[in-house]
Chains A and B, each alone.
Chain A
Amino acid sequence: MKRCLFCHETLVEEVSWNDCFGLRKRSLFCDTCYKGLEEISGERCDGCGRKHSLFPEQYRQNMTCLDCIKWEGNALYSQVLQRNISLYVYNETLKAIIAKMKYRGDAELAKGFQQKLQQVYTTFFHGYAVVPIPLSEERHYERGFNQAELLAQQLNVPYENWLTRQRHENKQSKKTRSERLKINQHTFLLHSEVPPLTGTHCVLIDDVYTTGATIRAAALILKQAGALSVSSITIGR
C-alpha cells in the first residue's frame, strides 16, 4: 500500500493507458495535496521566474518584472543572476510542505519534488554545475541536514559544495522585506578547495526564491570566482 508523502493518506492510483506505455510519471503526493500545488507554467518573468498571471501588468516591462529590473540597476548585483526557474507558486500548500521539510525536519519530502526538478534541470540547465545554497555550520548541525543539498541530491547528478555560509545570521524567513534585501554580500564564502571556475555555468539550488537576495549574494561569489553564468532552481516562488 502506498501513502501520500505529505499527508500520509492512502494513495489511490487510477490506472490509465499512459501506464501501459510507461508515459505516466507518478506523483508521490496524493491527489488532494498535489492539486494544492500550483505549477508555474506559461508566461513568466525572464529574471526571477514569477508567473505573469499572478501580478498586474503595470509591474513589468516586456517580460521582466520591476523587481528584477531594480536588481539589474544595482551596480553590485547587475548581471549576476542569469535566470531563476521555480517549480511551483509559493502558496499555502507549498508553504506547509516546505515548513514540514525544513522546520519539522522531514527530509523525506524532498523526494516528492524529484521528477519536476530533474525535468527543469535537463530542459534549462543541462550540464551546468549544481551548487546548493549552504547553511551555516551551526544551523546545519541543528537541523541535521541542508534542505538545498537534499534537493540537489534529487537531480542524481554530482553536486558541488563550493560555497560556505559564514556567520549565523537570523533566519531570512524571520525578516521583513527591506531587511532581507540588505543581505550582507559577505554571507557566503568560496570554499577553500574550489578549482578555478573559469568557463563554468553554475546552477544554484534552494527551496524558495522570495526577494532573490540570498540567491544573488551566493551567485555574486561564484561570479567573482570566474563562473561564466549563474542561474538558479527553486521549488517555490
Chain B
Amino acid sequence: MRYVLCERKGQIEFAPDSSVPHDEQAVAFHQLPPFTTPPYCPQTTAIHAELQRVLSGKQLLLSELPYSLQTLHEQYQRGCIAFEQSIRQHGPRHFQCLRCGNEQFLLFAKLTCFQCKEHDCVYCRKCLMMGRVAQCMPLLRWIGPPFPYPSIKQALQWQGKLTPAQQKASDHLRSLVSTGGELLLWAVCGAGKTEVLFSGIARALELQQRICLASPRKDVILELLPRFQAAFPTVTIAGLYGGCKAQEENAQLILATTHQLFRFKEAFDLLIIDEVDAFPYSYDETLEKAVYKAKKQAALLVYLSATPSRALQRKAEQKKMNAIYIPLRYHGHPLPLPRFQWCGHWKRLLYKKKLPKPLQHWLIKQLESGRQAFLFVPSVTVLQEIVPLLKSIDSTIEGVFAEDPHRHEKVMAFRNGAIKVIVTTTILERGVTIPFTDVAVLGAEEKIFCESALVQIAGRAGRSSEDPSGDVCFFHYGKSNAMQSAQYHLIKMNQRGRHLT
C-alpha cells in the first residue's frame, strides 16, 4: 500500500492512496515527509473500546489487527492511534528496527516489495518470528485514553507463611509499588522469591496497574503459571511464551518469556525481570531495550537475581537503586559452601580415556551413599568424552545437553530418581530443584564457569528443608578467580544471613 499527504483542518496528515482518486504523488510509508497526528479531543469522539483494549500498550502491524484500514485511519484522524515508522534509517549502512531494537546491519535485508512497490524495501531479519516487519509497514500504537484496568481488591488468596526475611522483603516491595524506579531483589538460590512477589503484585492489582513478570526461560513460566493461578484465583493471568496458543494478551497480569516483551510498548506499571543475569538476557542486548520499551515511564522495574552482575551490584551499593536482600534460604539453613579439589590435567586424562582419580573416588562414594548428584562439565565435547567412561563404572549414568533430543526424558528420569548421576553442561544450572542431591563440577577453572554460574550451581545442593546441606565439590586444574569469588560470595551471603537470625 502507498500513502499520500493531504491537508485537513490546516494540518498535514497522511492518507492511504486508496482514499484519494488517481494521485500520482503516492509513496511508500517510509518515504512520506513528516506529518502530524491530530490531537485527541475528548468531547467529539467516542472511543473504539475493543481497539483500545487490543492496542493499548502494544505496537502492532496493520496485518495483526483485524480491522479495516478505514476504521484505523478514522481512529488516527480522531487522535487515538499513531502510525509510526517501523525501521528508521540513520545512515547508508545503519538501520534500526523500532520493534525489536535490532541495529546490526547484517540482520537487515532488502527486497522488491509487492506491498509498497519499491525495489529496496528494507526489512528486519531479527524479529521475523513475530511476523515480518518492513520499512513500508507502519507500527500502530494507541495514544488515546489508556484502557482502564479494574481495581482488584483482595486478589491474593495465598495462605502460606513467609519467613521473617521474606516478610521484610515483601513489605518493602509492597511499599515501593506505585513509586516507580528500579529495585534489585537479591535473594539466594532457594530463598523463595516467588512468594515474596505476591503481596506487591496484589497491591498493584488494587491500584489498577498492569503487571508483567518476565523470565528468560519458558520452563520457569510453565512452572510459575499454576502457582500464580492458585494465588490469584480471581484474576485472568496470561502466560506468553514461544509456541503457546493465542492468549489473552491484554490480561492485566502477564507471565511471559523475555522475548515476548518485544510486542509491548509502554504497557506495564510493574515489570519484574526474573534472573537478570541469565542467558539470553545478559547476552542479547536488544532484550534489555525491550524491557525499557515495554515498561511505562513511571513504572517500577524489579530485578530478581541470586547472582546480580557487578554493574547491578554497584548500582545498589551506591544507592542509585533500591535493593532488598534475602540472604537466607526459606528453611533458614546456610548455603552449602564449595570445596576445591585439584584433579590434575583432566583434559589429557580424558583424552587417554581415563578418569581423574579424585573424580573417580567422588563418584564411587556418591554411588555408595545412594544420593543423587549433578556433574557439571564445561562443554558438550567434554560431556561426550566423559559419559562413556562413567558408564563403565555405573551404567545408569546419563549425559544431557541443550540439543539432546532426549533432554526432557533424561531430566524427568533424574527427577524420578531413575538416574543417580547426571552429567550436564550449564543448561541445568538454574531452576532445577531436586532434594537429596550433591553437586560436582569438573574443570571449574574453565571460562564458561563464571562467578554467577558457579554460585547457581552450588545453589542446586541442599534446597529442601529435609536435606539442607549437600556436598559441593569443584574439581579443577588450578583455581580461577571466578571460583574464589563464588566461594567468597557464598560466605558473605551466609554471614549476612547469620546477622539476620
Contacts and interface: CB of A to CB of B under 8 A. Distances in A.
B114 A106 contact: no
Contacts of B134: 144
Contacts of B128: 100, 104-106
Interface in B98-133: 106-107, 109, 111-115, 121, 123, 125, 128-129, 131-132
A234 to B, nearest CB: 20
Given A104-B128, A105-B128, A106-B132, A140 B109 contact: no
A231 interface: no
A141 interface: yes
Contacts of B121: 144
Contacts of A104: 128-129, 132
Contact of A144 (B109, B114, B129): B114
A145 B113 contact: yes
A25 B107 CA distance: 23
Secondary structure call for the B interface: mixed
A182 B49 CA distance: 46
Interface in B121-169: 121, 123, 125, 128-129, 131-132, 134
Contact of B112 (A3, A105, A145): A145
A108 interface: yes
A161 to B, nearest CB: 12
Nearest to A140: B114
A105 B123 contact: yes
Contacts of B132: 104-106, 144
Interface in B70-114: 106-107, 109, 111-114
A227 B123 CA distance: 38
A63 B112 CA distance: 40
A150 interface: yes
Contacts of B123: 105, 107
Contacts of A108: 109, 111, 125
A171 interface: no
Contacts of B115: 141, 144
Contacts of B106: 3, 8
Interface in B37-64: 63
Contact of A146 (B114, B125, B129, B131): B114
A10 to B, nearest CB: 10
Nearest to B126: A8
A113 B129 CA distance: 22
B122 to A, nearest CB: 11
A143 interface: yes
Interface size class of A (residues with CB under 8 A): 10 to 19
Contacts of B111: 107-108, 144-145, 150
Residue picked from A8, A106, A107, most chain B C-beta under 10 Å: A107
B113 to A, nearest CB: 5
Contacts of B113: 144-145
Contacts of B114: 140-141, 143-146
A209 B445 CA distance: 53
Interface string B166-182: 00000000000000000
A104 B114 CA distance: 16
A104 B125 CA distance: 9
Nearest to A139: B114
B136 to A, nearest CB: 9
Contacts of A146: 114
A106 B128 CA distance: 7
Contacts of B125: 106, 108
Contacts of A143: 114
Nearest to B116: A144
A100 B113 CA distance: 17
Contacts of A141: 114-115
Contacts of A100: 128
Residue picked from B107, B123, B125, B129, most chain A C-beta under 10 Å: B125
A225 B90 CA distance: 50
Given A143-B114, A144-B115, A144-B132, A107 B107 contact: no
B61 to A, nearest CB: 11
A140 B116 CA distance: 12
A3 to B, nearest CB: 6
Interface in B293-335: none
A104 B113 CA distance: 15
A145 B109 CA distance: 13
A106 B126 CA distance: 10
Contacts of B129: 104
A110 to B, nearest CB: 9
A144 B121 CA distance: 10
B117 to A, nearest CB: 11
A28 B63 CA distance: 31
A207 B106 CA distance: 25
A186 to B, nearest CB: 23
Interface string A104-120: 11111000000000000
Nearest to A8: B107
A94 to B, nearest CB: 18
A119 B121 CA distance: 28
Nearest to B128: A104
Interface of A: 3, 8, 100, 104-108, 140-146, 150
19 contacts: A3-B106, A8-B107, A100-B128, A104-B129, A104-B132, A105-B123, A105-B132, A106-B128, A107-B111, A107-B123, A108-B109, A140-B114, A141-B115, A142-B63, A144-B115, A144-B134, A145-B111, A145-B112, A145-B114
Given A106-B109, A144-B115, A145-B112, 16 more contacts: A8-B106, A100-B128, A104-B129, A105-B123, A105-B128, A105-B131, A106-B125, A107-B123, A108-B111, A140-B114, A142-B63, A143-B114, A144-B111, A144-B132, A145-B111, A145-B113
Q: What 10 A-B pairs come out closest when comparing CB atoms?
A: A105-B132, A108-B109, A107-B111, A104-B128, A140-B114, A144-B115, A144-B113, A145-B111, A144-B114, A106-B128
